[in-house]
Amino acid sequence: MDFIQEIARALAEATDLEAEEIAQSIEIPKADMGDYAFPCFRLAKTMRKAPPLIAKEIAEKIKKPEFLSDIKVVNAYINFYVDKTVFVKSVLSEVCEKGGKYINSEVGKGKTIVIDYSSPNIAKPFHIGHLRSTAIGNSLNKIYKALGYNVVGINHLGDWGTQFGKLIVAYKKWGNKEAVERDDIKELSKIYVKFHEEAEKDPSLDDEARNWLVKMQEGDEEALSLWKWFCDISMKEFNRIYDRLGITFDSYAGESFYNDKMAAVVDELREKDLLTESRGAQIVDLEKYNMPPCLILRSDGGTLYPTRDISAAIYRKNTYDFDKCIYVTALDQNLHFAQWFKVIELMGYDWAKDLVHTPFGLVSLGDGKLSTRKGHVVLMEDILNMSVEKTKNIIEEKNPDLENKEKVAEDVGIGAIIFDDLFNSRIKNVVFDFDRMLNFDGETGPYAQYTHARACSIIARSGAKKSEKDVDYSLLSDEASFNVCRVIKEFPEKLAEAADKNEPYIVARQIIELCKAFNKFYNENNIMQSEEATKKARLSIVFAVRDILKSGLDLLGLKAPEQM
């Protein structure tokens, strides 16, 4: 039953308002203030009365539906109390039928979402700074899919640009093939850092790097051969990390993919009289929009990030015909995206409004911002290994006889990192703290995974194969049982809200709310020793929680171990 729609209909019959309009205003109050609430403040202007008086008059006119146990007026609010048995039956019977897909919907059916995320730079290590874009983007991918959208996940690799000229210079001066083949990305990173150290003393190295980039652009065989080798080495490491994180992409089309597509875009900008020369460079003047100019071509004719991003957006629209294209990148790129989004708009493309920058804050170890140039990086693989190792130690201490300890440690250790990253609004900075993220009693990934494992353990001990349909839901009228169902009922709305705001933390917070509610239910209700009918009813809650938690964890990119 859709209780909001049913309450809206009852209110519509008692007022001159439309049910659809009412439904949008209905709120979820604090637990002790009912299950749903209708605020009357906005009616004061048209009804020319004080909101509390309006609430009282409307409440007196409502014909109380059978599914409501009570209607109360509190100041300007009309609070509705749903009959607990009706509510619990409505939720649990639907979860029994749909399983984890209870939280899904078809709201996005027939629509396409493109998500650009992760996008590490080739020839640079996959470090802790790449975590946020990767985790947030992967979660949004899963969230939109759960809502029925066709989702295209794109890893826009940084596989072109000046850094390759720098790396070629560094390799030819200080590198050797044996060291690179032995230490792969670590050696490339080492000589890349050395280039910047030496370039500070000898600026002519930057000129050499630019010359090698020009050679790449002109198709020089040696330059392209080295570039391809660097790319292959990098992808080998990237894929190893992605495999551990359980992440795949639909496209790896990076910057180099658009090399032969940018000339047409530059021509189009010129034909539409949008280009202006400035100190030999070609720009789009954005002064009237209170932004610096958007650089399209350097004075030497070379392209820049905006040129490639504009070309990529046009290609994606033509290829995927997206309804929305989301870019998951750092907050400090806000201006860059605002500039080229505006250029797309000035080109006359009405789909410019469908381009969305989804920014996030920094990630650090508490000792400053990361920099590949200065060598101040923490490799993602090292972080994953450290978390998994710490998790193994916890397992050895708390449950040494656990089966599949290695697999569980991998799932929990990596899950702890992802969950910690997604638990707060993406715009907030994240500081790594293993003690916090691996706490099995806090608002963490291990706590959520352990709660799922607890539900699985109860089911295994009960011998039940699936949730029964002939359940006496009146036996679940206690507050703890009802609260679990209330949290489950909110899940589909939270999923939709997470997509609307591009905020996975909304799902993460709801998972924790469900874990808290379930653990309270578990502590207050004896499941295994209860009378048969009561046991069957309580097990229906356990099955529901297991299914919802597994689906919820997957939406964040976490595994759901059955034993811990």
- Domain boundaries of the chain, sorted by first residue: 3-82, 117-364, 380-556
Residues 6 or more apart from 303 whose CB is under 8 A from it? 262, 266, 296, 297
Beta bridge pairs of residue 78: 38, 73
Catalytic residue among 84, 89, 127, 317: 127
CATH topology of domain 3-82: Gyrase A; domain 2 (3.30.1360)
Q: What is 380-556's CATH number, 1.10.730.10, 1.10.8.60, 3.30.230.70, 3.10.180.10? A: 1.10.730.10
C-alpha–C-alpha distance, residues 485 and 89, integer Å: 9
- Give the pLDDT confidence score for residue 370 in this predicted structure: 46
C-alpha–C-alpha distance, residues 361 and 335, integer Å: 15
Catalytic residue among 84, 124, 142, 156: 124
- Give the pLDDT confidence score for residue 374 in this predicted structure: 52
CA 312 to chain CA centroid, Å, is 22
Among 381, 536, 375, residue whose Cα is nearest residue 462? 536
Q: What is 117-364's CATH number, 3.40.50.620, 3.40.50.1460, 3.10.20.520, 3.40.50.11540? A: 3.40.50.620
Describe the strand order of the beta sheet including 294-297 as a list of residue ranges: 276-278, 281-284, 294-297
List phi, psi (to 5°) of 408. Answer: -65, -40
CA 364 to chain CA centroid, Å, is 19
C-alpha–C-alpha distance, residues 59 and 72, integer Å: 8
Beta-carbon count within 10 A of 375 CB: 14
Q: Is 127 a catalytic residue?
A: yes
List phi, psi (to 5°) of 125. Answer: -70, 150
List phi, psi (to 5°) of 407. Answer: -65, -45
- Give the pLDDT confidence score for residue 178 in this predicted structure: 92
Catalytic residue among 84, 130, 324, 494: 130
What is the chain's pLDDT, residue by residue, as a tens digit (564 residues)? 789 999 999 999 999 899 999 999 999 898 788 999 999 998 998 899 999 999 999 999 999 999 999 999 999 999 999 999 999 999 999 999 999 999 999 999 999 999 999 999 888 888 888 999 999 999 999 999 999 999 999 999 999 888 899 999 999 999 999 999 998 888 998 899 999 999 999 999 999 999 998 899 889 999 999 999 999 999 998 999 999 999 999 999 999 999 999 999 999 999 999 999 999 999 999 999 999 999 999 888 888 899 999 999 999 999 999 999 999 999 999 999 999 999 999 999 999 999 999 999 988 776 545 444 555 567 898 899 999 999 999 999 999 999 999 999 999 999 999 999 999 999 999 888 888 999 999 999 999 999 999 999 999 999 998 877 789 999 999 999 999 999 999 999 999 999 999 999 999 999 999 999 999 999 999 999 999 999 999 999 999 999 999 999 999 999 999 999
C-alpha–C-alpha distance, residues 337 and 356, integer Å: 9
- Give the pLDDT confidence score for residue 367 in this predicted structure: 55
User: Which DSSP string corresponds to 462-516?
Assistant: HT--S--SS--GGGG-SHHHHHHHHHHHHHHHHHHHHHHHT-THHHHHHHHHHHH
CA 297 to chain CA centroid, Å, is 34
Which 3-state string (H, E, C) describes 365-381? CCCCCCECCCCECCEHH
How many CA atoms, within 13 angstroms, populate the side-chain half-sphere of residue 307? Answer: 28
* Integer-rounded Cα radius of gyration of the chain: 28
Alpha helices in 18-123 (DSSP H): 19-25, 44-47, 51-61, 84-98
